[in-house]
Structure 1
């Protein structure tokens, strides 16, 4: 084998490229902020465990943990905690909304990006559905502009999100 393709060095890896950070403001709910803090603690503990291994030939897991820690620290530094409004007069960040449309009823919660999970009905405030819902009141009809065509939804209920577990 040619030595031209073998990198000489001390066995350390170059840092992995940083995870992309959204250009949107980093609005977070109290639950989302707590989740980010917990994820950071978990990754810091994982990194400490990786560095304590007797056999450390594979440095990739350490580099991945360091990259994740940089991302989480940046997200926490830019976090803007938004308390949900006490009033349930209109849909806003941090609230849940039940809507009815041609395909039935569904609940959505408007959350920060790091907390968003479509499977749980958690959407970001800049998602097209959230933009259609924010500011809507009970009984209002909103138009959700989707790539597959516009969908009209009626706002049936506005509620506070579940508290932090």
Structure 2
């Protein structure tokens, strides 16, 4: 029989499920970030205990493997000093004259829409080590970023 007349099974048409990619480099986290990872692991373990469909079980196990790996490799960073922009601070900036603020956190805790960015993000890399009053380059502009304030209060998103 010609391949053209062969009916594919439902499984043949499903997209393959790959492991979730683990970000390269160190897995730095804030204390809050470690708590969030722990909460995610516990939630997934509860979901797994209640799951009955094979596809759902496989998806939960995949997610659980990712989050357990992140939990094991997490490196809680010491509290920031607040003297300069560093991991765990919220930096208040003027970017091209517009006020912005970002908490600098680990990869899994980052949520730019809620005001947190990964310490590996280009903007974070551009401002790490800067102090209040520093003017920093962005693109073709030498003084596009101004550090207005540095806050050490616990970072929350949302």
Question: Which residue number corresponds to residue 13 of structure 2?
Answer: none
Question: Which residue number corresponds to residue 48 of structure 1?
Answer: 49
The DSSP-based 3-state class of the residue aligned with 1:157 is strand
The DSSP-based 3-state class of the residue aligned with 1:99 is strand
- Counterpart-to-counterpart distance in 2, 1:72 and 1:141: 38
Q: CA RMSD in A?
A: 2.5
Q: Could you list the runs of 5+ residues in structure 2 that have no partner in the other structure? A: 11-15
Tell me if structure 2 keeps the 8 A contact 1:16–1:63.
no
Tell me if structure 1 keeps the 8 A contact 2:28–2:75.
yes
Match of 1:82 among 54, 77, 80: 77
TM-score normalised by L of structure 1: 0.80
Match of 1:119 among 96, 113, 123: 113
TM-score normalised by L of structure 2: 0.83
Write out the 4+ residue segments of structure 1 that deviate beyond 2 Å after TM superposition. Answer: 2-7, 161-165
Task: Go from structure 1 to structure 2 and tell me whether the alpha carbon gap of 1:164 and 1:30 turns closer, same or farther (over 3 Å shift).
Answer: farther
Question: Which residue number corresponds to residue 70 of structure 1?
Answer: 65
| CA-CA distance at 1:156 after TM superposition | 0.4
Once the two structures are superposed, the pairs formed by residues 10-21 of structure 1 within 5 Å of their partners are: 16-21=17-22
- Counterpart-to-counterpart distance in 2, 1:79 and 1:64: 23
- Counterpart-to-counterpart distance in 2, 1:39 and 1:49: 16
- Counterpart-to-counterpart distance in 1, 2:38 and 2:108: 11
Q: How many residues align?
A: 148
Once the two structures are superposed, the pairs formed by residues 1-165 of structure 1 within 5 Å of their partners are: 16-51=17-52, 58-85=53-80, 87-145=81-139, 152-162=144-154
| CA-CA distance at 1:28 after TM superposition | 0.4
